[in-house]
Chain A
C-alpha cells in the first residue's frame, strides 16, 4: 500500500513534528537533572506562554514580534514565581520528593483551571489560521512551518548545550546537578543555579509551545497532555541525560508516526506506552545513549570548582 514517497513523507513529517517535543523534553529533563524535580509545573508555564501569545495576537491584535517576546516574559515570570515561592520554600523545609511532585501537579492543575475560566475551553491557535503553505520537494510536501520549527528547536537545543559547555553559569548548573552540596562548598550559590535552571526550562517550554500553537489547536488542558511525551522521552533518554532526552523525543515521534507502516493506526498511541513500559522494566536507567559533553562536564568541574573560592561567589566573578 505504501510507496517510497509515502514512507519518506511520514519520516519527514515525523521529524518536523518532533521539534516541539524536543523542547518539551529538554525543559523537563533539565529541571530533573539540575533541580532534581519532576517539574510538572512546566505545563502551567506552557499554558501561560500560549495564552499570553494568543491573547496578544488574536484578542489585542498585536504583531507577533511583540506578542511572542511578551509571552516569553510571562512564562519566565511564572517560572520565577514558582521557583521563589514554591520550590525554594519546599527545598528549605526539606520536604519529601513525593510532596514536591504533588505540588507541581497542583500548580499545573490550578493554572489550567484559571485559564479555563479566563479563556473558556474552546480551542485556539496563536495565529488565526493554522494552515501553512506547502512546497513540494520531489514527492515530499514540506509545509512552511516545518523548516523554521526545526531550526528553532534544534537551534535552541544547540544554544542550551553550548551554554552548559562554555558558560560559567552553565558549568555551575552541571556542578550542582552532579553534587549540589559539594558545589556549594566551592562557593556556587545553589539557589541562583536552581532559579536559572527553572528559567531556562521555562523558556524552552514556552518556545516549544509557540511552535505547537502555530500549527495545532490548544485547549487549557493540552499542555498537560503534552507533558506525558516529555516525561516518557526523559525516562527513555536516561534521567540526567539531556542529549538522551533529545534523541528519545525525536525517536519517539518518528516511531509513533512511522509505526503506521506496520500496525493499525489505533495502536499508534499504545506504542509509546509499550516502549515506556519496556524501558522501565528492562532498562530502568533509560537507553544507554551518549551523554553530550560528558568529557567536558568532568573537565569543567575540575577547572571551575578548583579555581573557585568560597569567599568569591560565582555571581561576583561573573560580573
Chain B
C-alpha cells in the first residue's frame, strides 16, 4: 500500500480520519493502522531537485510495493506517506509537521542537507525518528538524539581510501577540489585525515564549479611531484579533469570518490581511465545481479535509467530498513513510538539490505559500512579491496 499525498483538504481529512481511527484503537500503536505500519517519506517532488527526488521516491515506492508483495511485515502491510519538500527547508518543515502531528508517524525518511538540518529540531522535540538517506554532510551526526542516517557520511569513504593508499606507500598527495561547499568540506576531510596518518599534502588546488578547462590547477599538481592526486569534483567535470591530466602527462595514481563509480566514466575516458581508483558505497549493476535487475526494471517501466542510481538504491532499501524495525517491535509486542523505533534500530544495528548490502547504524549517529575500492583495469572496474569489514 503506497499513498502519495500533498497538503490538500481531502487528504488532510482522510489523515484526520486515520488519526481518529488510530486513537480509537488505543493510541499505543502510533503509526499503525489496522493491519498496516505507517511511515513517512519527505523528498523533493517539485522544484529544481525534483529530477533526483522523484526518482528516489519512485525507488522507495517500489521498495514498499515489493515488501508488501512478499507478504508485508509479519503479515501486515507497509504504508508510506509521501510528502514534497521541494528541497526547501521551509517546505520541508511543513511536511515534517504534517507527518509528525497529523499522520503521527513514528519514523520518517528524508534527505537534502538543508531540509535535514531544518527538520531535526522537530524530530527531537516530538521524539520521532528521522532517518536521513542520501545527505552526507558530516554535521548530520550531531543533529540530535532522533536523527540518524543510513547513508555513510562524507568521511567514511575518504578515510577508507586514504588508509589503502597510505598502505601502498603513497606519502604525498595533491588535491584538486571543486570550489563549492561539498568539495571544500570533503577536501578538508581528505587533507586532515591524510596529514593525521603522516602523509603530506603538497598541492591543494580549487577549481570553479563552472570551469571547462583545468590546465592551471593540473599543472600546479604536476609541478608538486605528488605520489598521488585526488580529485574531489562533480560527476560532470571529473572525467574531463582526468582526461586533461592524462593529456598533460600526469602518470601518478589518480583517485576520486563514489560519484565517479559508474560505467559511463570508463566509456567517456577510454584508455585514460586506466588505473583510476575510486570508492564505492553501493554495488554497481556490473557486480550485483540484483542491482542489474533493478536497473532493467527502470528501463522497462520508465524507459530510462534513474537519475543518481546509487542514491535510488539507498532509497529502495530504506523501506526494508524501516520494515525490519517494525518487524522487531511487532514480534516483541512493544508499542510503536519514535522512541521504541529508535531503540529497536540501535538494537538491530546491522541491516542486510537488498541493493546496498550491509550497513551498521551506530549510537554515535554515523554508519559503519564496508567501502569497496574499485580500480579501472583493462577497461572495466575491478574491486581491489574492501575496507572496514
Contact = CB atoms under 8 A, between A and B. Distances in A.
Interface of A: 1-2, 6, 9-10, 13-14, 17, 116-117, 120-123, 125, 128-132, 134, 141, 143, 212, 215-217, 219, 222, 225-226, 228, 253, 257-261, 264-266, 268-269
A143 B213 CA distance: 13
B247 A131 contact: yes
B223 interface: yes
A269 B208 contact: yes
A141 B248 contact: yes
B179 interface: yes
Interface in B263-286: 264, 267-272
Given A131-B243, A217-B236, A268-B208, A120 B304 contact: yes
Contact of A14 (B179, B207, B213, B304): B213
Nearest to B243: A131
A131 B215 contact: no
B237 interface: yes
A259 to B, nearest CB: 7
A297 to B, nearest CB: 33
24 contacts: A2-B219, A6-B223, A9-B248, A10-B215, A10-B219, A13-B215, A116-B51, A120-B304, A121-B52, A128-B268, A129-B269, A130-B239, A130-B240, A131-B246, A134-B247, A215-B240, A222-B236, A228-B210, A257-B215, A259-B216, A260-B217, A264-B205, A266-B206, A269-B210
A268 B269 CA distance: 26
B268 A265 contact: no
B223 A132 contact: no
A37 B219 CA distance: 40
Nearest to A12: B215
Interface of B: 51-52, 179, 205-208, 210-213, 215-217, 219-220, 223, 235-237, 239-240, 243, 246-249, 264, 267-272, 304-305, 307
A222 B247 CA distance: 23
Contacts of A228: 210
B307 to A, nearest CB: 5
A130 B236 CA distance: 12
Contacts of B236: 123, 217, 219, 222
Contacts of B208: 266, 268-269
A66 to B, nearest CB: 21
Contacts of A116: 51
A269 B212 contact: no
Contacts of A122: 235, 264, 307
Q: List 5 tightest A-B contacts by C-beta distance, closest first.
A: A260-B216, A269-B208, A266-B206, A123-B236, A13-B215
Contacts of B272: 131
Contact of A128 (B210, B248, B267, B307): B267
A121 B51 contact: yes
B249 A141 contact: yes
Contact of B220 (A132, A143, A215, A265): A265
Contacts of A266: 179, 205-208
Contacts of A128: 267-268, 270
Interface centre among B213, B216, B235 (most CB of A within 10 A): B216
B87 to A, nearest CB: 14
A232 B220 CA distance: 27
Interface centre among B208, B210, B213 (most CB of A within 10 A): B213
Contacts of A259: 216
A102 B51 CA distance: 25
Contacts of A215: 240
Given A134-B247, A219-B236, A260-B216, A129 B264 contact: no
Interface centre among A13, A222, A225 (most CB of B within 10 A): A13
A85 B340 CA distance: 62
Nearest to B273: A131
Contacts of A1: 220, 223
Nearest to A127: B268
Nearest to B304: A120
B217 A265 contact: yes
Contacts of A10: 215-216, 219
Given A141-B247, A260-B216, 6 more contacts: A2-B219, A10-B215, A17-B212, A253-B213, A268-B207, A268-B216
A256 B374 CA distance: 35
Nearest to B267: A128
A257 B264 contact: no
A163 B212 CA distance: 31
Contacts of A132: 243, 247
A268 B249 contact: no
Interface centre among B208, B215, B272 (most CB of A within 10 A): B215
Nearest to A224: B210
A141 B240 CA distance: 16
B241 to A, nearest CB: 10
A258 B219 CA distance: 11
A125 B52 CA distance: 21
Contact of B268 (A125, A141, A225, A226): A125
A264 B179 CA distance: 12
Given A9-B248, A129-B270, A131-B243, A121 B307 contact: yes
Contact of B267 (A117, A129, A226): A129
A212 B211 CA distance: 12
Contacts of B304: 120
Contacts of B268: 125, 128-131, 217
A125 B236 CA distance: 10
A216 B212 contact: yes
B374 to A, nearest CB: 19
A265 B270 contact: no
Contacts of B213: 13-14, 17, 253, 257
A17 B211 CA distance: 11
